[in-house]
A and B are shown apart, each in its own frame.
Chain A
Amino acid sequence: MAEEVTKIICITCPMGCSLEVTHDGDTVTKVDGASCKKGAEYALAELTDPRRMVTSTVKVAGGLHPLIPVYTAAPIPKPRIFDLLASLRQVELQAPVKVGQVVLASVVGTDVDVLASRDLPAV
């Protein structure tokens, strides 16, 4: 394969550096434009296994609200986001819920759990 340059924007922090990544397939040879070392790590991950934190809501019965916000404890593979959302639609919790409670374990073939983002008291 030939070397090519892919432009990506680093999302590690609010700065949002524009990176020019020189790579041959999955082999990164050069990263330009990063203002810290996280940029190179991000560029490599983004080209080989892009991942995202996912936040959404699940249904909850008997709580102060009909929904509770949830988040992935770590980023999950970007192509699996909609699979994860589909499985979260099947979940219904019973109030009370505690922050950090596991809502769904080891999602979409990873070892990442989905956790509750807050306490939700029963009413």
Chain B
Amino acid sequence: MLKQKYDVIVIGSGPAGLAAAVEAKKTGAEDVLIIERDRELGGILLQCIHNGFGVELLKEDLPGPAYAQRYIEEVHESGVETLLDAMVLDISPSRHIYAISEWSGFAELDARAIVLAMDCRERTRAQIRLRGSRPAGVYTAGTAQRFTNIEGSLPGERIVILGSGDIGMIMARRLTFEGAKVERVLEIMPFLTGLTRNYVQCLLDFDIPLQLRHTVARIIGNRRVEAVEAVQVDEKWQPVEGTREIIPCDTLLLSVGLIPENELSKKAGVLLDPVTNGPFVDQGMQTNVPGIFAAGNVVHVYDLVDWVTEAGFVAGRAAAKYAIAQRKRVARQVKLQAGANVRYVVPHVMDKEALAESDQKLQMRVVSPIEGKVWVQVTDGENQIVRKGQRYARPGEMVTVKIPQKAYDEVQKTDRLTVNVVAR
């Protein structure tokens, strides 16, 4: 059963989101909710079945799903709530969240603090402006990874991979394991863009050729990819004539970069750094919008998951502290309400501690004139806190009353005060 208001709501349940939720709870946040769009917690780690996760933080070499499971178990043990299979549609700067799912329908939730942990999107064919026909068989490496490792279908049998990022190289090995032939890995830069050890154990180990300074000039195929035209490029990324080569294949995988997924962040008014494409953050991973934090690849693209988890801890801790401080501030507040014959009261709320320093003046206007003696009366609903006599009250003339410092103790006991202007 969803609550209406949470101390901390975390959006996304990859390594950053899991760590943030666990740490927020540990720091003392009471209600923590993770909203995840997949049917289970874990994020992209679940499809990263290769090992190499946790070497720095856990001093163990784990496959992605096993690494995720450590933190998923902590989430469940710590009493963090989860909303799965749910999509966040919008976030307001005042931390109001709109989400939708098959199970809970349309939900509106409030959070004292939010941690954005939405990871990245992969760059697609359109974003790198690949020429050629538009057949089936062109996938991002991550999509192919999900097909192969979770859904149980191979994207193709003869593969060319564009980009030497880690996901691309890892998929080269993975597809080789499953019986596909990886014809070539092409990299437009003059250097490898992924980790060296992945070059060794994913490409060298299986004699998969890597060509630096090469790219796909054209995709060929009618219904399905039939070949790609590869070409060498110069320093300005222009094709070097005489180097064009047709590589027959049925599938082209793109491992050409990640873009932090900040559509929701933008809606919440979060400012993005044009270099990282992620939010500007402070030392606690707080964005420019107070109470909205961000962690993981949504901030900048990480090399190792261990540091993503660490960033989640930082953001979760800071978010919990923010929520707790906000709770305390609200607990110190007393609402000032318009009662009998009062249209409004300014200020609307008062910090109870303000009385420790000075009397507090309230200003208001009456609804109807009373041409005779009146009481301006401040009550906590049962007891009168203060009352002041006046000869009359008219809407055209502002009425004022002071809450005296000596009412300090009585005001501490309530969360609202009502002002009435009534005939004596």
Contacts and interface: CB of A to CB of B under 8 A. Distances in A.
Given A14-B304, A67-B150, A57 B49 contact: yes
Contact of A118 (B69, B151, B152, B304): B69
Contacts of B293: none
A9 B201 CA distance: 10
A52 B63 contact: no
A107 interface: no
Nearest to A10: B197
A69 B149 contact: yes
B205 interface: yes
A122 B39 CA distance: 14
B48 to A, nearest CB: 9
Interface size, A (range): 20 to 34
Contact of A13 (B42, B55, B65, B177): B55
Given A53-B51, A55-B63, A66 B197 contact: no
B68 A118 contact: yes
Interface size, B (range): 20 to 34
B66 A85 contact: no
A108 B355 CA distance: 79
Contacts, number: 80
Contact of A14 (B46, B68, B151, B197): B197
Interface in A81-114: 81, 85, 99
Given A9-B196, A9-B197, A117 B152 contact: no
B66 A118 contact: yes
A30 interface: no
A16 B151 contact: no
Nearest to A115: B66
Interface in B172-198: 177, 195-197
Nearest to B49: A69
Contact of B200 (A16, A53, A57): A16
A12 B61 CA distance: 11
B199 interface: yes
Interface in A30-55: 52-53, 55
Contacts of B50: 55
B303 interface: yes
A105 to B, nearest CB: 18
B205 A52 contact: yes
A24 interface: no
Contact of A9 (B150, B152, B199, B304): B199
Nearest to A119: B69
A16 B49 contact: no
Contacts of A64: 39-40
Interface of B: 39-40, 42, 46, 49-51, 55, 61-66, 68-69, 148-152, 177, 195-197, 199-201, 204-205, 303-304
27 contacts: A8-B200, A10-B197, A11-B201, A12-B197, A13-B55, A14-B195, A14-B197, A14-B303, A16-B196, A16-B200, A52-B205, A55-B63, A57-B148, A57-B149, A65-B151, A65-B152, A66-B151, A66-B152, A67-B152, A69-B63, A69-B65, A85-B177, A117-B62, A117-B64, A118-B66, A118-B68, A118-B69
